[in-house]
């Protein structure tokens, strides 16, 4: 009998649960650091976090880990890949320099410029005062104000006019959480259109483009409310057909990978393009240096071939030798169940009921996003608590099954968006009539999400 491969996954969210789940299906023995109650059920949790890089190196050495996979961006930006590689350990993900594609919006823009990749026009400023002067001196148009560095998704302000943009600068200058992210400020043209996510696995030369998805970043139904890490996703999105995906690959992903290589920062790992489909074609809003969460969950339930093989081939710089991945037909949908108050302050430690019943719903996988076990009971441990994911032979069925799973689960204050994938369903249904209106999802399609067991939806 061949020995199973031992893989370490770093992170504790729904994305990492999905990665661990798929690697276990691929036959790997999986450790997760630190993991959550969901990963504990399928793998071995190790109580180390991504910022403790020396301890993770020691773990990889002492447990003879032959591949480490990094979920979140912070350890990548902090240089975990560089440290593991220097210690002779195999690790999947970009180096600290390459992860600047996500860690620094200015670096990202420079690479986009080098690669002649379409993106929003922008100006950069080294001080908030200069940015304010610029805003006051120019025409009053919608803009997006961005802090350069990582700010947990909070450093971006989409502003309808000048006064909103000036207010955004005031927030950036006064709130200490942005102190390290505001060494640079970008003021960007606001793009209009439909937002989609396209991810690719790359070894720095070859890329494998993955099926397109759509995230739901706003907290509440109808894209209302504050920005979040993502309240749901589905895959594939009909807004990107195969022709557009080929265009995105050739005009955006490939030139970005080449521009990085030419800049002597080859990128190995997951390249995530957040795109706006504008009237002038797809344009880059941002790049991430890792799988999206919850996009990863919707993606991996559809992957029939080996994820481990893709990670191995990218890590060993031989992606050109692997067979293209195989995706199951149909579609998937992921509904994030969140704690009361998210994305603001939340209470942790609420006992969760119904997980087994949800897992019994046809096609459903419940990925844990922030949970832990207390004396045998699974309790909530963060803002985005669960990512209930379902496969269906159509998107409508995947959505129905995901919400059937959601309906089985209860905890005090639990809530979710009820309209995950509705834009796509409206688009599919209106396609024949050529009458799609992205802001006008008909009530008949914004279906019975069945969220009446949940409190506070759309508060």
Binding-site ranges for ligand GLY (CB under 6 A): 215, 229-230, 288, 292-293, 295
Strand partners, 380: 371
- 165 versus 233: smaller Cβ distance to ligand GLY: 233
5 binds, among ligand AMP, ligand GLY, none (CB under 5 to 8 A by kind): none
Question: Smallest distance, Å, CB 398 to ligand AMP?
Answer: 23
- 26 versus 295: smaller Cβ distance to ligand AMP: 295
286 binds, among ligand GLY, ligand AMP, none (CB under 5 to 8 A by kind): ligand AMP
Mark residues 58-97: x for contact with ligand AMP by CB under 6 A, - for none: ----------------------------------------
Q: What are phi and psi of 162, to 5 degrees?
A: -65, -40
190 binds, among ligand AMP, ligand GLY, none (CB under 5 to 8 A by kind): ligand AMP
Considering only residues 137 to 176 of the shown chain, the ones binding ligand AMP according to CB under 6 A are 144, 146, 156, 158
120 binds, among ligand AMP, ligand GLY, none (CB under 5 to 8 A by kind): ligand AMP
Whole-angstrom distance, CA of residue 341 vs CA of residue 62: 41
293 binds, among ligand GLY, ligand AMP, none (CB under 5 to 8 A by kind): ligand GLY
Tokens representing 52? 């403790």
Mark residues 238-277: x for contact with ligand AMP by CB under 6 A, - for none: ------------------------------------x---
Which among 185-193, 244-252, 365-373, 376-384 is the span making contact with ligand AMP, rule CB under 6 A? Answer: 185-193
CA distances from 230 to 219, 227, 334, 338, 431 (A): 8, 8, 10, 10, 26
Sign of the C-alpha dihedral computed for residues 182, 183, 187 and 192 taken in this order: negative
Give the helix/strand (H/E) hosting 19: helix 14-25
292 binds, among ligand GLY, ligand AMP, none (CB under 5 to 8 A by kind): ligand GLY
Tell me how many degrees the CA angle 117-211-388 measures, rounded to the nearest 5.
Answer: 125
Would you report the helix, strand and coil content of the chain in percent, each value rounded to 5?
35, 25, 40
- 125 versus 272: smaller Cβ distance to ligand GLY: 272
Strand partners, 303: 327
- 158 versus 430: smaller Cβ distance to ligand AMP: 158
Ranked by CB distance to ligand AMP, the top (closest) residue is 286
Whole-angstrom distance, CA of residue 368 vs CA of residue 43: 13
CA distances from 98 to 79, 214, 237, 260, 287 (A): 10, 25, 28, 8, 11
230 binds, among ligand GLY, ligand AMP, none (CB under 5 to 8 A by kind): ligand GLY
Whole-angstrom distance, CA of residue 459 vs CA of residue 343: 12
Instruction: Kindly state the number of chain residues that form the binding site for ligand AMP, as judged by CB under 6 A.
Output: 13
Considering only residues 217 to 236 of the shown chain, the ones binding ligand AMP according to CB under 6 A are 217
Q: From edge to edge, which strands make up the β-sheet containing 269-278? A: 207-209, 194-202, 269-278, 281-288
191 binds, among ligand GLY, ligand AMP, none (CB under 5 to 8 A by kind): ligand AMP
253 binds, among ligand AMP, ligand GLY, none (CB under 5 to 8 A by kind): none
Across 335-369, b (16+ Cβ under 10 Å) vs e yields: bbbbbbebbeebeeebebebbeebeebebbbbbbb
Task: Report the chain's terminal Cα–Cα distance, integer Å.
Answer: 56
- Per CB under 6 A, the list member of 123, 124, 223, 286 interacting with ligand AMP is 286
CA distances from 454 to 232, 301, 409 (A): 16, 25, 9
Question: Smallest distance, Å, CB 86 to ligand GLY?
Answer: 28
Burial level of 51, CB count in 10 A (0-12/13-18/19+)? exposed
Considering only residues 99 to 128 of the shown chain, the ones binding ligand AMP according to CB under 6 A are 120
Ranked by CB distance to ligand GLY, the top (closest) residue is 230
195 binds, among ligand AMP, ligand GLY, none (CB under 5 to 8 A by kind): ligand AMP
DSSP states of 161-176: SHHHHHHHHHHHHH-G
Question: Smallest distance, Å, CB 426 to ligand AMP?
Answer: 19
- Per CB under 6 A, the list member of 6, 190, 348, 397 interacting with ligand AMP is 190
**Interface residue list for ligand AMP (CB under 6 A):** 120, 144, 146, 156, 158, 188, 190-191, 195, 217, 274, 285-286
């Amino acid at each position: 009998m061949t020995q199973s491969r031992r893989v370490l996954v770093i992170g504790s969210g729904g994305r990492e649960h999905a990665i661990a789940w798929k690697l276990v299906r691929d036959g790997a023995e999986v450790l997760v650091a630190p993991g959550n109650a969901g990963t504990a059920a399928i793998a071995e949790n190790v109580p180390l976090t991504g910022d403790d890089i020396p301890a993770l190196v020691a773990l990889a050495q002492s447990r003879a880990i032959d591949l480490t996979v990094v979920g979140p961006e912070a350890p990548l930006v902090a240089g975990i890949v560089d440290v593991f590689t220097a210690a002779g350990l195999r690790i999947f993900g970009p180096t600290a320099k390459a992860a600047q594609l996500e860690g620094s919006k200015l670096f990202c823009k420079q690479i986009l410029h080098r690669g002649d990749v379409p993106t929003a026009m922008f100006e950069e400023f080294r001080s908030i005062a200069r940015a304010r002067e610029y805003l006051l001196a120019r025409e009053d148009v919608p803009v997006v104000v961005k802090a350069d560095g990582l700010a947990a998704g909070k450093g971006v302000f989409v502003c309808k006019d000048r006064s909103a943009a000036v207010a955004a600068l005031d927030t950036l200058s006064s709130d200490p959480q942005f102190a390290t992210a505001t060494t640079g400020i970008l003021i960007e043209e606001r793009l209009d259109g439909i937002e989609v996510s396209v991810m690719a696995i790359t070894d720095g030369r070859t890329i494998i483009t993955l099926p397109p998805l759509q995230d739901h970043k706003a907290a509440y139904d109808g894209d209302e409310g504050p920005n979040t890490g993502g309240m749901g996703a589905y895959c594939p999105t009909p807004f990107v057909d195969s022709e557009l995906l080929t265009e995105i690959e050739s005009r955006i992903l490939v030139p970005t990978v080449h521009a990085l290589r030419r800049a002597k920062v080859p990128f190995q790992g997951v390249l995530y393009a957040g795109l706006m489909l504008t009237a002038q074609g797809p344009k880059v809003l941002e790049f991430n240096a890792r799988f999206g969460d919850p996009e990863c969950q919707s993606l991996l339930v559809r992957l029939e071939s080996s994820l481990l093989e893709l990670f191995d081939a990218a890590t060993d710089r031989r992606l050109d030798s692997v067979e293209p991945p195989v995706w199951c037909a149909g579609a998937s949908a992921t509904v994030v169940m969140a704690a009361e108050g998210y994305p603001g302050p939340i209470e942790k430690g609420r006992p969760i009921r119904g997980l087994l019943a949800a897992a019994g719903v046809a096609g459903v996988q419940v990925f844990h996003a922030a949970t832990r076990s207390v004396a045998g009971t699974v309790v909530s441990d963060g803002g985005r608590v669960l990512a209930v994911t379902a496969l269906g032979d159509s998107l409508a069925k995947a959505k129905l099954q995901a919400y059937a799973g959601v309906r089985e689960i209860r905890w005090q204050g639990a809530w979710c968006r009820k309209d995950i994938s509705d834009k796509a369903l409206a688009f599919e249904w209106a396609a024949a009539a050529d009458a799609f209106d992205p802001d006008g999802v008909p009530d008949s399609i914004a279906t019975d999400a069945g969220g009446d067991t949940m409190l506070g939806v759309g508060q």
